[in-house]
């Protein structure tokens, strides 16, 4: 599989600000996640529409947690620990693409066995976007990759200069928040990540 670069909204920028950046860097990004834990379904739906209006197709959009919104717009869904379980989602929303966020070897195997289409595994490095937890490094990632067949993207403190390490440990791509959203020049930052992931 072609390696992927995912960008996640961070709940700090407005949806409009996120969509404006997304529209500009669309060529570099494989998946845009709306991860908005404080917004209502209606507000998240408006965010999906903003991305669609920027020319981002629904296949490139991932809605975090809200399977109802994802289903309504034919996007993927990203399931967290507090979300509906992936087997329930796959059973009741046939054909939906569902990613799972996992933080351990055990959870990665369980999510894969229950039908997840891809995993976000983290957090690999320390990150200010989720403070207070030490980075896990790449050891467990390599073990997960030996056991699951679905793509495993890494998340947490991913920077252009640590991509080589995670890719050589077997990651199928990376998911990023601050490295792009809060870069001085998000376009240039997205280009730097993309160069390392896609070439």
Ligand X SMILES: Cc1nc(C(=O)O)sc1CCOP(=O)(O)O
* Residue 123 annotated to the active site: yes
193-199 long-range contacts (CB < 8 A, ≥24 apart) are 193/5, 193/28, 193/158, 193/160, 193/163, 194/5, 194/28, 194/29, 195/160, 196/160, 196/163, 196/164, 196/167, 197/3, 197/4, 197/5, 197/163, 197/167, 197/173, 198/2, 198/3, 198/5, 198/28
Q: Report the nearest approach of ligand X to the CB of residue 162 (Å).
A: 11
Interface positions with ligand X (CB under 6 A): 8, 101, 103, 122-123, 127, 129-130, 155-158, 176-179
Q: Which is nearer to ligand X, 144 or 158 (CB)?
A: 158
Residue closest to ligand X, measured at CB: 122
Q: Which is nearer to ligand X, 74 or 165 (CB)?
A: 165
Q: Report the nearest approach of ligand X to the CB of residue 53 (Å).
A: 25
Q: Which is nearer to ligand X, 35 or 60 (CB)?
A: 35
């Amino acid at each position: 599989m072609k390696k992927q670069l995912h960008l996640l909204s961070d709940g700090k920028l407005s949806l409009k600000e996120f969509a404006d950046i997304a529209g500009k860097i669309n060529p570099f990004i494989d998946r845009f996640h709306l991860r908005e834990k404080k917004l209502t379904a209606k507000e998240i739906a408006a965010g999906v529409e903003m991305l669609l209006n920027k020319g981002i197709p629904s296949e490139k959009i991932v809605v975090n947690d809200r399977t109802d919104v994802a289903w309504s717009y034919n996007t993927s869904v990203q399931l967290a620990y507090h979300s509906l379980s992936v087997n329930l989602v796959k059973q009741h929303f046939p054909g939906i693409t569902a990613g799972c966020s996992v933080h351990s070897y055990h959870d990665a195997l369980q999510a894969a066995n229950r039908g997840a289409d891809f995993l976000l595994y983290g957090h690999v490095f320390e990150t200010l976007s989720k403070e207070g937890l030490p980075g896990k490094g790449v050891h467990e990632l390599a073990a997960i990759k030996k056991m699951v067949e679905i793509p495993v993207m890494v998340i947490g403190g991913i920077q252009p200069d640590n991509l080589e390490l995670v890719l050589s440990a077997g990651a199928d791509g990376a998911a990023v928040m601050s490295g792009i959203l809060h870069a001085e020049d998000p376009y240039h930052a997205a280009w730097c990540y993309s160069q390392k992931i896609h070439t």
